[in-house]
Amino acid sequence: PPKCTFPFTFKQRTFEQCTKEDYVLNRSWCSLTSNYNTDRKWKQCSPLQ
């Protein structure tokens, strides 16, 4: 399975871990590349992340 990439950039902010930012379902997610704004690739994080 694809892995999170840290740090990643999302809306001019840098994240070092999974975030709930802008996720309607209030679940954690992460980017699969260093810049989500450019690539738009993401995955939902497991509850342990």
pLDDT per residue as tens digits for the range 18-27: 999 999 898 9
Q: pTM of this prediction?
A: 0.87
Domain boundaries 8-44, corresponding CATH code: 2.10.10.10
Q: Transcribe 1-49 into DSSP letters.
A: -----SSEEETTEEESS-B-TT-TT---EEESSSBHHHH--EEEPPTT-
pLDDT per residue as tens digits for the range 1-49: 899 999 999 999 999 999 999 998 989 999 999 999 999 999 999 876 5
Residue-range domain boundaries for the chain: 8-44
Q: What integer pLDDT is reported at residue 49 of this predicted model?
A: 54
Q: What integer pLDDT is reported at residue 14 of this predicted model?
A: 99
